[in-house]
Amino acid sequence: MKILLLFPPQEQIVSPGYMKTIQEGLGYLPPLGLLYLGTWINERTRHKAEVLDAYVREMSFDDVEAYVRRTKPDAVGITAMTYTLIDAVDAARVVKKVDASIPVILGGPHTSLFPKEAVGLPCIDYVVLGEGEVPLGQLLDRIEESGRLPGTGWRGEDGLPREGTCVEDLPAVLDKCTQKQKHRYFFQDLDDLPIPNRALTPYRMYSTVVSKRPPTTIMVSSRGCPYSCSFCYTAGGKKYRERTPSSVVDEMRASVALGIHEFLFFDETFTINKERIYQVCDAIIASGLDVLWDVRARVDCVDEPLLRRMKEAGCGRVQYGIESGTQRVMDILNKGTTLEQAREAIRLTRRVGLSTYADFMIGAPGESREEIMETLRFAQRLNLDYVHFSVTMPLPNTVLHRMGVRQGLITDETWRDFAKDPTTTFEVPYWTEVFTREQLDELVTYCIKRSYFRPRYVLQALRGVRSFGEFFRKARAGLKLAMMGL
């Protein structure tokens, strides 16, 4: 079978109010999940996959329709985050408009959160949960062998089978899952996955406002995170799985061969296993590859020798989730780190010559205006190169969401209703115990502006640049980055 893997146009993302002010010109990053899937299908199954990133190609839904009409795929797979669900469903509609008999498969972080709702969405025939490589291959086998699968995946509240099915239906997949994961498939040995073939997408088009050596790509050297921050939905699951250093370097080498030298590691947290990171750095250095990379890490998972080694291996920036400038709020968010650890991590990162970037959240449970201002002051004292403030949101399947339901701030149905019937009028829920939505939007915008336009930042930034033009580019990049949460 010939499957088209589609990253839909991003026209109707549900995002917080303050983010809607800056959306253009942020840049593009490759749809890594679809690259993994496409490569798996092409290299490990009898099927053939093509990846269409309609977003980077700036295609409209009409363009996608014309593309499907022209290329006539036997099946279409679409990726969805909860936030991009409206576009995913519209993409499915477009496919069905071309030919109602083309099976449409939905996957991505969203389907694992709301499988039943996803199966019930219009124009979606099949839903794959968790990491899709193996289940998608098997699903295509089954579709090819038996035509349309019976809709036995989920039963609705009324007990009747819903249209479509999901991997729970596939015994071979179930065998490989732990009881707890039941229907969410996780690949155990990441080295078994073929290296994603970046040539499946127009890889030269990817870069962001902060790229130093475009084209830029993203990579993951591990999946999963064992920590339990209350606001986080760990898409890769709780079980931390890692790739070997040689496999990481092989992927970098394949990218360099295409002319890609800049890598953003989007591991949930890169430095959990320090020993492995030393080995990864050693392998990169030994390879002699000319690469620049950055990582996301926890403040309690770094030390000076490690950071130094990372710098030697081409790392340029470390992004930390610090979240708050008060210990009380950090504890409420179950971050498991201290303010002192945050100060120390930033001090060491700067000392070894790496750029520093930190994420902060405002509007956590019970958080007062004074605490928010303390977080802003804390961020300013850290003297970061880049900073990101966002509004605390009770996202689906997080501890914070359950707390919000218990306190009556949101209902269990808030996100579920959207998942059943995604509409553009939906407002992403905030934690509105102390402040209104409008106040939180104002507060976060204030924090971002104060961080980028304060005299000290301006002076510091001026010191490192060669011209005013360069300074303004940097400030613009910082501001956009802060909005994007890259």
Summarize as ranges the residues that interact with ligand B12 (CB under 6 A): 10, 13, 15, 29-34, 36-37, 77-79, 81-84, 105, 107-110, 113, 128, 131-133, 136, 218, 220, 232-233, 235-236, 266, 268, 396, 485-486
Amino acid at residue number 142: R
Chosen from ligand B12, ligand SF4, none, partner binding at 419 (C-beta under 5 to 8 Å by type): none
The CB-of-130 to ligand SF4 minimum distance in angstroms stands at 17
Closest approach, Cβ 133 to ligand B12, in A, equals 6
The CA–CA distances, whole Å, from 176 to 75, 166, 167, 168 equal: 25, 15, 12, 11
Q: Which helix (H) or strand (E) holds 314?
A: none
Tokens of 116: 């039943």
139 binds ligand SF4 (CB under 6 A): no
Q: First vs last Cα of the chain: how many Å apart?
A: 36
Count of CB atoms situated within 10 Å of the CB of 366: 11
Nearer to ligand SF4, 268 or 385 (CB): 268
Q: Are 341 and 302 in contact (CB under 8 A)?
A: no
Closest separation between CB of residue 372 and ligand SF4, Å? 20
Number of residues that bind ligand SF4 (CB under 6 A): 10
- The residue among 59 and 218 lying less far from ligand SF4, judged by its C-beta, is 218
Under the binding rule (CB under 6 A), the answer on residue 107 touching ligand SF4 is no
269 makes contact, choosing from ligand B12, ligand SF4, none, with CB < 5 to 8 Å by partner type, with ligand SF4
Residue 439: count of CB within 10 angstroms of its CB: 14
- Shortest CB 289 distance to ligand SF4, Å: 27
Does 229 engage in binding with ligand SF4 (CB under 6 A)? Answer: yes
Q: What is the rounded radius of gyration, in angstroms, for the C-alpha atoms of the chain?
A: 22
387, containing H or E segment: strand 386-391
- Residues in the chain, total: 486
Least gap, CB of 268 to ligand B12 (angstroms): 5
Nearest in space to 52 (alpha carbons), one of 107, 3, 117? 3
Task: Choose from ligand SF4, ligand B12, none: what does 54 bind? Cβ within 5-8 Å by kind.
Answer: none
Q: Which does 110 bind (CB under 5 to 8 A by kind): ligand B12, ligand SF4, none?
A: ligand B12
Which CB atom, from 36 or from 263, has the smaller least distance to ligand B12? 36
Q: What is the 3-state secondary structure (H, E, C) of 80-112?
A: CCHHHHHHHHHHHHHHHHHCCCCCEEEECHHHH
Q: Does 376 bind ligand SF4 (CB under 6 A)?
A: no
| Tokens 């409206």, residue located | 86
Smallest distance from ligand B12 to CB 467, Å: 29
CB nearer to ligand B12: pick between 80 and 352: 80
In the complex with ligand SF4, which residue's Cβ is closer, 55 or 227?
227
Identity at 23, one-letter amino acid code? Q
Q: Using H for helix, E for strand and C for coil, what is the string for 100-168?
A: CCCCEEEECHHHHHCHHHHHCCCCCCEECCECCHHHHHHHHHHHHHHCCCCCCCCECCCCCECCCEEHH
Q: Shortest Cβ distance from residue 313 to ligand B12 (Å)?
A: 21
Among 194, 186, 174, which Cα is nearest to 41's?
194
Residue 87 or 268 having the CB closest to ligand SF4: 268
Span near ligand SF4 by CB under 6 A; candidates 100-108, 123-131, 221-229, 277-285: 221-229
The one among 39, 84, 112, 269 contacting ligand SF4 by CB under 6 A? 269
Residue 321 sits in the site that holds ligand SF4 (CB under 6 A) = yes
227 binds, among ligand B12, ligand SF4, none (CB under 5 to 8 A by kind): ligand SF4
Out of ligand SF4, ligand B12, none, what residue 108 binds, judged by CB under 5 to 8 A for its kind, is ligand B12
Which region, judged by CB under 6 A, interacts with ligand SF4, from 89-97, 136-144, 228-236, 468-476?
228-236
Using alpha carbons, select from 239, 226, 242, 237 the residue that is nearest to residue 192: 242
**Considering all CA atoms of the chain, what is the largest pairwise distance in Å, rounded to the nearest integer?**
68
Q: Which does 321 bind (CB under 5 to 8 A by kind): ligand B12, ligand SF4, none?
A: ligand SF4
The label of the residue with tokens 């079980």 reads 239
- 232 lies in the binding site for ligand SF4 (CB under 6 A): yes
359 near ligand SF4, judged by CB under 6 A? no
Tracing tokens 């969401």 back to the chain, one arrives at: 401
Q: Would the CA dihedral through 169, 172, 177, 178 be positive or negative?
A: positive
Q: Which range touches ligand SF4 (CB under 6 A), out of 21-29, 41-49, 117-125, 220-228?
A: 220-228
